[in-house]
Amino acid sequence: MHQAVQNSTSQATSTTQRYAKCIEVSKRIRWDIDRDVIRGRQFDFGKKFLPDGLSKVTELTFLQPDEMLFLSQIQGRTYANIFGLVERYIGAKTLEISKDYWFSDQVALEALVRCTDEELKHQEMFRRLEQMAAAGMPPGYSFKPQPNDVASAVLSKSTWAVLGLTLDIELFTQAHYRSSIEPDSNLSELWRDVFLFHWKEESQHAIMDEIEWKREHERLNEMQRDQAVTDLIELVGAVDGIVQLQSNADADYFAACAGRKFSSAEEIAIQDVLLKAYRWQYIVSGVQEPRFVEVLKALVTPPQMERIGKALAPILAHVGQ
């Protein structure tokens, strides 16, 4: 008994220390949208918005270089919209979780409040980027999912599942940053900075998210955990639904603006590569991060892992992983 109390006290201390470290780093790397990221710049429409590793546009070998460029710019605009969307629910969830610390660990509370503040800032940054992208692109683009509808659908699922999806998202910003630093003189400098600065703050979020995911796990019984795995599978399915919808919309927009007629085989290929790119960007690049796999494995049973693996299999196969 005495040992158990000691263990839980030292666990709480180490959690507080990890939160304290997040606050310290968050203060040190804190950036401002105008002063550090945008710096009075506009987008250069002669450059790609997303690196090839994310956009997959080079797989469409029948496209001209300027068409690949435009397709990567459409994806950049969608990137800004998707982040504006997911950060809406992440901010709300973080605020909700912070309630557990209102009258206890004030360090954890501060870390979670900072995280929420950063997500609000990120939403604003992505809204600005969307407007800047819109200013230089032909009319007709439309972003289909509604942030508040998606946020309420996500938040209706169990906290365990929401935190699992959130860790996937926060870790894939790291994978995206890695793609953005690959040598490529034709990638927009402004977009490179977006990947860099976003990732800097997301690194702390991923640590906090992991702490909270594990804490939530401890609170659940076996039945609740099994239901939570089902919820996580459904959430990934919902994200897949969103990227299917948007990849179709973006393929139509691209075809409408391209100024030439594509064969039906080419149209199908464009749609397919867009879906593949979005599945890579918004699902697979996160779930394949070693940290994600490690945390998930520690939380689920082998049969649950198998269920998750089965649900992901068609998406992984499409992306070629």
Applying CB under 5 A, does 114 fall inside the site for Fe ion?
no
Out of 48, 77, 114, 205, the residue judged to bind Fe ion by CB under 5 A? 205
Out of 56, 77, 93, 122, the residue judged to bind Fe ion by CB under 5 A? 122
Cβ–Cβ under 8 Å, residues 136 and 57: no
Residue 16: CB minimum distance to Fe ion, A:
21
Residue 84: CB minimum distance to Fe ion, A:
10
Closest residue to Fe ion, judged by C-beta, is 205
H helical segments located in the chain: 2-29, 52-55, 65-98, 106-135, 147-155, 159-180, 189-219, 222-257, 264-279, 285-287, 290-299, 302-319
Applying CB under 5 A, does 276 fall inside the site for Fe ion?
no
Helices and strands (H, E) in the chain, number of each type: 12, 0
- Coil vs helix vs strand at 296: helix
Find tokens 């590793």 and name the residue: 53
Residues 245, 143: Cα–Cα separation, whole Å: 9
- Coil vs helix vs strand at 167: helix
Cβ–Cβ under 8 Å, residues 162 and 235: yes
Q: Please identify, among the stretches 143-151, 199-207, 234-242, 307-315, the one whose residues bind Fe ion according to the rule CB under 5 A.
A: 199-207
Q: Please identify, among the stretches 45-53, 121-129, 229-237, 276-284, the one whose residues bind Fe ion according to the rule CB under 5 A.
A: 121-129
Q: Please identify, among the stretches 7-15, 122-130, 152-160, 238-246, the one whose residues bind Fe ion according to the rule CB under 5 A.
A: 122-130
Applying CB under 5 A, does 88 fall inside the site for Fe ion?
no
Residues 199, 193: Cα–Cα separation, whole Å: 10
Q: Please identify, among the stretches 63-71, 124-132, 204-212, 238-246, the one whose residues bind Fe ion according to the rule CB under 5 A.
A: 204-212
The token duo for 200 is 């800097």
Nearer to Fe ion, 197 or 253 (CB): 197
Reference 210, options 22, 10, 8; nearest CA is 22
Q: How many residues in total does the chain contain?
A: 321
Residue 124: CB minimum distance to Fe ion, A:
11
Angle made by CA atoms 146, 140, 57, in degrees to the nearest 5: 85
Nearer to Fe ion, 57 or 92 (CB): 92
Integer angstrom CA distances of residue 274 from 142, 173, 246, 288: 15, 19, 9, 20
Nearer to Fe ion, 172 or 262 (CB): 172
Nearer to Fe ion, 168 or 202 (CB): 202
Nearer to Fe ion, 176 or 205 (CB): 205
Amino acid, single-letter form, for residue 316: L
Q: Please identify, among the stretches 180-188, 198-206, 218-226, 306-314, the one whose residues bind Fe ion according to the rule CB under 5 A.
A: 198-206
Residue 205: CB minimum distance to Fe ion, A:
3
Applying CB under 5 A, does 121 fall inside the site for Fe ion?
no
Residues 161, 163: Cα–Cα separation, whole Å: 5
| Binding-site ranges for Fe ion (CB under 5 A) | 122, 170, 202, 205
